[in-house]
Amino acid sequence: MTAPIPRDIPDLPAVPNPPRLLPSSAPATAVVPPVRRPLAAVFRLLTALLALTGVAIELLLGGPVAKTLSHFTIQSGILLALVLLASARRAWSADRPLPGALTGAALLYVAVAGLVHHLLLANPASPFAVPDGDGTGWHTAATHILHTAVPLAAALDWLLLTTPGRLHLRQAAAWLLYPLAYLTFSLARGELLIPGAQDRYLYPFLDVDEHGYRGALGNALLVGLAVYALGVLLVALDHIRPDPLRRRW
């Protein structure tokens, strides 16, 4: 025999100060299932192989390995290839993309190498123009690969295969650390070599024998300001360009 059910159930006391629901801090990848992007992976792999091909040609034909590796173009090409290889693996396996600060830096450096070549070194109107040999052969092919094809391919990857809005203005200043370190390395290298040695200074606008330290540092300052302006432009474009990933690649 069961107890009778009471007709009136007393009200339960209200819970004082109910806890508020906090906004979730879970990343989007914990909610949205990751998606493989084979087209992006293949394009990045091919671009990385293109950059490594140009670097390999220069290493085979450019004289001493240490001298060839001292060029900003070679260093930036190797950095871009490593970044793109890692990005290709992540796109293929649906992992989270690399930080925008890293991919933006790699793009900026190869763009700087290409612009310095075309505007200062290969431009007959430039006071820093250097002869380009006979204009034929493997060396010229490597020059076009590293200064034209690779920067354009890296820019296309950034514009068409990456999510916008991942770059920030503070990163433009941080990206100057590597060019500043390269300037220090270049001047120190010139001091360690015998005065009058061939290719003592790898870039004519940094030639202390020709311009003195005041002139070389003044040229470096102008190039550094241009690099910073290009980095700021890259950040600005990243925040106004459309999102190409609304369609999954």
Which pLDDT does position 152 carry in this prediction?
Answer: 98
- pLDDT > 70? residue 114: yes
pLDDT at 103 over 90: yes
Indicate whether 128 pLDDT > 60. yes
Q: Which amino acid is at 91?
A: A
Q: What is the mean pLDDT of residues 157-178?
A: 94
SS3 content of the chain, % helix, strand, coil (to 5): 65, 0, 35
For residues 62 and 129, the model is more confident at 129
Span 130-143, average pLDDT: 78
Using CA atoms, how far apart are residues 28 and 53, in angstroms rounded to an integer?
37
Locate 60 and state its tokens.
Answer: 């085979």
pLDDT at 30: 43
Match 């090409």 to its residue by tokens: 77
Residue 133: which region, alpha, beta or left (left: phi > 0; alpha: psi -120 to 50)? Answer: left
Q: Mind listing the pLDDT tens digit for each residue in 37-73?
A: 889 999 999 999 999 999 999 999 878 899 999 999 9
pLDDT of 121 strictly over 50: yes
Q: How far apart are CA 208 and CA 147, in angstroms?
A: 25
CA 52 – CA 145 distance, rounded (Å): 10
**DSSP string spanning 154-174?**
HHHHHHHHS-SS---HHHHHH
Which range has the worst mean pLDDT, 168-172, 178-182, 191-195, 223-227? Answer: 191-195
Reply yes or no on whether the pLDDT at 4 is more than 90: no
- Please list, in sequence order, all residues whose beta carbon lies within 8 angstroms of the beta carbon of residue 141, skipping any fewer than 6 positions away: 57
In this structure, are residues 148 and 47 in contact, taking their beta carbons and an 8 Å threshold? no
Give the chain's mean pLDDT: 87
Question: Tokens at residue 194, please?
Answer: 């015998």
- Quickly state the pLDDT bin for 124 (edges 50, 70, 90): very high
Backbone φ/ψ region at 215: left (φ over 0), alpha (ψ -120 to 50), beta? alpha
* The token pair that represents 243 in the structure block: 């999102």
pLDDT number for residue 5: 58
Q: Give 199's pLDDT tier (boundaries 50, 70, 90).
A: confident
pLDDT on residue 29: 46
Distance of alpha carbon 108 from alpha carbon 105, whole angstroms: 5
* pLDDT given at position 11: 58
Spatial contact of 75 and 69, defined as CB atoms under 8 Å apart: yes
Q: How many other CB atoms are found less than 10 A from the CB of residue 236?
A: 13
Helices vs. strands in the chain: H and E counts, helices first? 10, 0
* pLDDT value at residue 157: 96
> What pLDDT, on a 0 to 100 scale, did the predictor assign at position 249?
45
